[in-house]
Amino acid sequence: MYTLGYRFKPWEDAKAIADGSSILRYVKETARENGIDSKIHFNHRVERAEWSSDDAQWTITARRTDTGEEVRLTAGFLFMCTGYYHYSEPYTPEFPGAERFGGQIVHPQHWNDGIEYAGKRVVVIGSGATAVTLVPAMAQQAAHVTMLQRSPTYIVSLPGEDPIANFLRRVLPSKAAYAITRWKNVLVTTAFFQLSRRRPRFVKGLLLKAAAKALPPGYDVKKHFKPKYNPWDQRVCLVPDGDLFEAIKVGRASIATDTIDMFTEQGIKLSSGEELEADLVVSATGLNLLALGGMQIAVDGADVEIPETVGYKGMMLSGVPNMAISLGYTNASWTLKCDLTCEYACRLLNHMDEHGYRQATPRLAPDTPTMPFIDLKSGYVLRSLDKFPKQGVRAPWRLYQNYARDILTLRFGDIDDGVMVFSNPEPEAEAPERLAA
């Protein structure tokens, strides 16, 4: 939370790896303190945004989810905070025989308070961040929880509380302690990522030794915790205080590394012939990716095909004026990049105001070499990568996934860099009333 929290608002709870309710409380408190909550249009789903160079403004079409009413807003600048997941349609593979299963199957994205698991046999399908979080949490009340994975994931344990952060808070002002802890965690995370890229066999050995130490003697670590890929080819999962390992150690949870043959009335039959009996199956199989929340954008009457664009500084799209996108890192806390993106957007708007510009457009040179936007080999990425913009091979079109480098570029780099084209189109005589900014 010292890097997932906002740069301007210290995280003051003792837990460094916080639960959902604590994070939600922090976000709501931040919004309330800065008057943001009163400026949010709830129950609005944006469907389309159209840019007009004649007016130098966006016209946004939204639909109220509570009444079905269509709403139109106008703005001089559009800032996208849509993430890149398709939250309403999570990824669920076809499970043969699922209709025969006598218990309940639920995806975590569709979880509700009516789902009972206390005293029940639970199978969690998946090995990503959601699965490794659910298994130890559910194991506290369930009769037994089995994590069924097709292939293992690298898992690292860290203390739920950061002792250095807690010490610094006792001897330093809150903001100073937070800033030091934040940078300490940034540097540790960056070093771990770079070491994983440069010496993958060494890091792989460290992770496997740590897992073996946390598990019962004789446990088959290679089968259940040794992926076929290198660390950070896919995300490394984090468990606080080794809770997943502890749940396995005391026998309340177990891992099955196998593929599904079919569902049966009592549970899941594996390709090995083993059958996992279950009352509840949780399909922690991930999410689909979705660019810009599924909304369509158009510039001067022509629809923009997102896969044909190239990301500028990881936060704007080539040929699309006055629009920034808040996307975080894949190898560090999401908020680190979002903070920098917000700072850059403010600098860009101030620069436009100071020089009287009404339009700013990243212009891509013809025949610029490109590569995929997200440099991960995870299944959820590979399934949807063709729906996202590209990135270039060098700045300012390259997405470096490096916080320190991005500080130099986004916080201190030149706004007028020869790639961003500024203009001042003349407004029409009777411009539409400005409803939102």
Cα gap 191→97, rounded to integer Å: 46
Q: Kindly state the helix (H) or strand (E) to which residue 246 belongs, with its residue range.
A: helix 243-249
Q: What is the 3-state secondary structure (H, E, C) of 85-131?
A: EEEEEECCCCCCCHHHCCCEEECHHHCCCCCCCCCCEEEEECCCHHH
Question: Hey, is 34 helix, strand or coil?
Answer: coil
Token readout for 423 is 């203009």
What DSSP state is assigned to residue 408? I
**Domain ranges, ordered by start, for the chain:** 41-86+289-423, 92-151+236-285
Give the residue among 75, 124, 127, 109 at the shortest CA–CA distance from 290.
109
Note whether 41-86+289-423 and 92-151+236-285 share their fold. Answer: yes
State pTM to two decimals: 0.84
pLDDT at residue number 289? 85
Strand partners, 231: 234
Cα gap 271→380, rounded to integer Å: 23
Please state whether beta strands 237-240 and 155-158 pair in parallel, antiparallel, or not at all (unpaired).
parallel
Cα gap 96→108, rounded to integer Å: 20
Strand locations in 267-385, DSSP E? 267-270, 275-277, 280-283, 287-289, 296-299, 302-303, 311-312, 316-317, 323-325, 359-362, 370-372
Half-sphere exposure of 393 (CA within 13 A, CB side): 6
Give start and end residues of each alpha helix (H) in 140-234.
Answer: 163-171, 174-198, 200-214, 221-225
Half-sphere exposure of 241 (CA within 13 A, CB side): 13
CATH class of 41-86+289-423: alpha beta
Cα gap 73→127, rounded to integer Å: 42
pLDDT at residue number 431? 45
pLDDT at residue number 90? 85
- 92-151+236-285 folds as FAD/NAD(P)-binding domain (3.50.50)
Compute the residue count for the chain: 437
- Chain-centroid distance of CA 190 in Å reads 17
Please state whether beta strands 253-257 and 144-149 pair in parallel, antiparallel, or not at all (unpaired).
parallel
- Chain-centroid distance of CA 138 in Å reads 23
Cα gap 169→174, rounded to integer Å: 6
pLDDT at residue number 374? 77
Is the CA virtual torsion 85, 87, 89, 93 positive or negative?
positive
Question: Mean pLDDT for each consecutive 10-residue tract of the chain (437 residues)?
Answer: 91 87 94 94 95 95 95 96 86 90 92 92 93 95 96 91 90 92 91 92 94 93 92 88 94 95 95 95 89 93 94 95 92 90 96 96 92 73 80 91 91 94 73 45
Token readout for 354 is 């100071």
